[in-house]
Structure 1
Amino acid sequence: MTFSYSYAARPRTPQPTPARRPLPASYLVWLAAATVSQLGDVVLGFALGWLAAEHGGAAAGLVLAAGSLPSVLLLLLGGAIADRFGARRVMIAGDAVMLLMSVALALAVLHAGTPLWLLLTASVLRGVVSAFYRPSAGSMPRRLVADAQLTRALALRQGAGQTVILLGAPLAGVLVAAGGLGAVAVLDAGTLLVVLVVLLLVRARYATPASDRSMPVWRAALDGVRVVRHTPGLVVALTLVAGAAAFLLPTVSLVLPLLARDAGWSAVATGVVAGAQGAGIIVVTAVVARRGGARRPGATASGGLAVAALGQAGLVAAAVPPGGEGAAVAAAVLVGAGSGLFTAHLAPVVLGSAPRTHLARVQALVGLVQALAVTLTIAGIGALAAATSPQVAGGACALGLLGCAAAGGVAFRRLTLEPVESAQ
């Protein structure tokens, strides 16, 4: 895939351009069902971690690791399976397995309560299914919408996902308090049934050739790396994704709590600041979903990282004087807005650049580089904060993000919205 400038003549009729036409109903129905299912998954994940904490900190860490480890180790295999047998088939199988697991979990809770072995089993199965499901789900937008509509479609998906994250934890807390893990499992089963029915009805609108079935599966999984290396723009894009994950994703999970404790903010105030970042993402992605993306997606994505870095610096500054929670909320909105700009404009470049035979495998690599980048840097950021101060650690994240923004601005300075496919 190569990128080139393209100048379209002004239309003589008021017909909308392909990029501005309404998104297909099939995509909107699938996205609605997938969002409902994601809400059930977020609630289940929260409940498993919360109940595991009753068995002690080591048990809670074991349950969380049991879910996250297979979802990372099996990602490339999941992408290869989806490209070989079809993303829709893989998602139907995954939803069916998780539906049975949720029903079985609800029944087991009635008879055995919430012993550690049950929580571990549920977490492992959830992680394994996620490894096969995520690459397939990530590739679905390009199977359901025209390439010119990818920016709006992915922005809508990002905004919906962020909304689920904001609502999932409070809903999980209410359900766990009211009905325990059994109620959560029943809710998850209901959401899975919804998306399973939708997947049985929705068909791909754009043909996607199957990958070479003569190639061993393990080799097909690694073939995604070859495709990324030989597709212009993808190596740089995935490098930028890794950089953003390394310096941006730890903001709410690590940097903000450290800054808040150092500044003496309450848990409620810190939660409001974290929610402000999510609100910034939702607002930006809603605008992109409605109006479309910028003409220069690479420059806009890099600019988004710069905006997020400015917000991170604002968080550091707000945590220095006492009573800086109001300024921190504004800074967090900037972090979210920058994050939304980055993802809403770079995600279509990655998905739109991938050859149709490797859609799921490229999405698997995106998830893998994000997970590896966060794993490698979050411990270092924590160690830096312990050795110096949370302000130094937050400043390092802001500087790292600015470096990524500068590198992306140079690498993508000629990238425009319309990709032109070339032979593999």
Structure 2
Amino acid sequence: MPFRAYSPETRTLLGAQLVFNLGFYAVVPFMAGAMRSDFGWGAAAIGLVLGARTFSQQGMFLFGGMLADRWGARRSILAGCLVRIGGYGTLLAASDLPLFLLGAVLTGVGGALFSPALQARLAVADRTTEVNPKRNSVFVWLAITGEAGAVLGPLLGTALLGWGFDAALAAGIGIFAVITVLLWWRLPPDKTHGDGAAGRSPASLRPAGGCLRDRRFLAFCLLASVNLLAYNQLYFAVPVELDRRGLGQAWMGGLFLLASVLTLALQLPVAAASRRIGPGPTLSAGFALLAVAFAVAAATSVDPEGPPSTSFAPIAAVVAFLVLGHMAITPMILALVPDYFPRGLSAGLGAGYGLVATSGGVAVLAGNMVLGRLVDATERHQWWPGTPWVPLVMVALMSALALPRVLPAQPAAKASLPAGTTTAT
């Protein structure tokens, strides 16, 4: 569905996703360099700050979603913007590690408040009938606008770094201040009747965190978490393979550009294909593409002790398959979450989106720890160099087979609707 066909509220939310990512990527990718060059801190301090920022966001998504259910999505979205402004302001004022660490944590918490609330609000913004294709395709546009922000943000940050990291922080504060004012002005209050949680009696609402007791939804989140684990290998498995080939990390810029170009160019065609084949087949195909990506990585992996290979094509193919699978899976996962909440879209929906995101964060943390040990063991014992990527093939295939079996029951007409992100950061 064309972007202009959405309601003003939906376009406002999608624009907020773009600007939120713009403000994030103009600052956060440059934090490590600033900590080293401006403060002279070592790798341990840098790792602590970056790890705390990531955990405070991914680990807090469930809590942020529960707050969105209690406060209302609008309040949580605005609070997320304000907390991120506070985080950037703390980073700007920091002169020592504890204060810089606090700023990084506040930056992550801002994202944890913002993202599940925005996703929940998008899920209900245009749902005027029980069967509404807008709810599905809107998440395709969420992926596109988010990726646009992720592409433009580093360009803005790079331009500002000529004036120092403080200039990037000041620009980020300005960006989030503007978006806070615009959202306060343009975003209508949460509904006070119908599906809106604000007007429902406490007894009619799903208890906060009630999704944790829904076994079917827990299985859905567990299997869906493989998607984030797989996509995160752009930051782990792909650099490992580049290093084994002696290509160096300078090639990463080209791979991330490839990922962005594919997302912006193919997200709508992938969504159209998803609309034709339905949720179950789309998810199976998406996870099968992830499995193919890691099968290619395993089959073309280079022995670190052997002669280096300078072939870039296999790594580009791995990235292409990862991105295509991610494009098929992510919007569909986000579109299906409301179907697990039949007692009212707003009742517990924020917590549901939060749990999906937190499950992915836990999967990345645990999965990368296991993969790291496998990489070390493979090099130490001189196993077949593709060994670390075999478990990723297996878990992707597991999700391809099992996830369609735990989807909520849907009417035939609804099951054929399109699914259509990147999580706001």
Match of 1:15?
A: none
Matched-pair contact (CA < 8 Å) for 1:155–1:344: yes
Match of 1:365?
A: 355
Match of 1:145?
A: 126
The answer to whether residue 254 in structure 2 is matched with residue 258 in structure 1 is no
Counterpart of 1:376 (choices 363, 366, 375) is 366
Change (3 A) 1:353 1:279: farther
Query: Shift of residue 278 of structure 1?
Result: 3.7
The answer to whether residue 411 in structure 2 is matched with residue 418 in structure 1 is no
CA distance in structure 1 between the partners assigned to 2:299 and 2:293 by the alignment: 10
CA distance in structure 2 between the partners assigned to 1:350 and 1:360 by the alignment: 10
CA distance in structure 2 between the partners assigned to 1:118 and 1:337 by the alignment: 40
Counterpart of 2:150 (choices 165, 171, 175) is 165
Match of 1:115?
A: 96
Match of 1:91?
A: 77
Query: Shift of residue 202 of structure 1?
Result: 1.8
Query: Shift of residue 82 of structure 1?
Result: 1.1
The answer to whether residue 170 in structure 2 is matched with residue 186 in structure 1 is yes
Matched-pair contact (CA < 8 Å) for 1:35–1:160: yes
Match of 1:13?
A: none
The answer to whether residue 411 in structure 2 is matched with residue 402 in structure 1 is no
Aligned residues: 390
Unaligned runs of 5+ in 2: 303-307, 380-384, 417-425
Q: 1:24-423 to 2 correspondence within 5 Å? A: 24-53=7-36, 54-103=40-89, 105-106=91-92, 108=93, 114-146=95-127, 147-176=132-161, 178-200=162-184, 201-203=186-188, 207-210=195-198, 220-226=207-213, 228-229=214-215, 234-246=217-229, 248-288=230-270, 293-320=275-302, 322-354=309-341, 355-356=344-345, 357-389=347-379, 391-411=386-406, 418=414
- 411-420 vs 79-88, which moves further: 411-420
Matched-pair contact (CA < 8 Å) for 2:279–2:415: no
CA distance in structure 1 between the partners assigned to 2:271 and 2:160 by the alignment: 32
CA distance in structure 1 between the partners assigned to 2:389 and 2:155 by the alignment: 27
Identity %: 23
CA distance in structure 2 between the partners assigned to 1:317 and 1:258 by the alignment: 15
Letter in 1 for 2:135: L
Change (3 A) 1:413 1:310: farther
Query: Shift of residue 332 of structure 1?
Result: 1.7
Matched-pair contact (CA < 8 Å) for 1:224–1:358: yes
Letter in 2 for 1:125: L
2:235 alignment partner, SS class: helix
Query: Shift of residue 123 of structure 1?
Result: 0.7
Letter in 1 for 2:368: I
CA distance in structure 2 between the partners assigned to 1:61 and 1:213 by the alignment: 46
Match of 2:305?
A: none
Q: 1:2-13 to 2 correspondence within 5 Å? A: none
Matched-pair contact (CA < 8 Å) for 2:297–2:314: yes
Taking only aligned residues, the RMSD between alpha carbons, in angstroms, comes to 3.2
CA distance in structure 2 between the partners assigned to 1:84 and 1:213 by the alignment: 12
CA offset digits 1:136-181 (Å, max 9, x no partner): 12212113222421221101111222333344345434423x1222
Change (3 A) 1:213 1:352: same
CA offset digits 1:270-299 (Å, max 9, x no partner): 432343234333333232567873441121
Change (3 A) 1:131 1:386: same
Letter in 2 for 1:293: R
Matched-pair contact (CA < 8 Å) for 1:26–1:202: yes
CA distance in structure 1 between the partners assigned to 2:81 and 2:315 by the alignment: 40
Change (3 A) 1:66 1:327: closer
Unaligned runs of 5+ in 1: 1-17
CA distance in structure 2 between the partners assigned to 1:397 and 1:292 by the alignment: 24
Query: Shift of residue 68 of structure 1?
Result: 2.7
Query: Shift of residue 255 of structure 1?
Result: 0.6
Change (3 A) 1:407 1:224: closer
TM-score by length of 2: 0.81
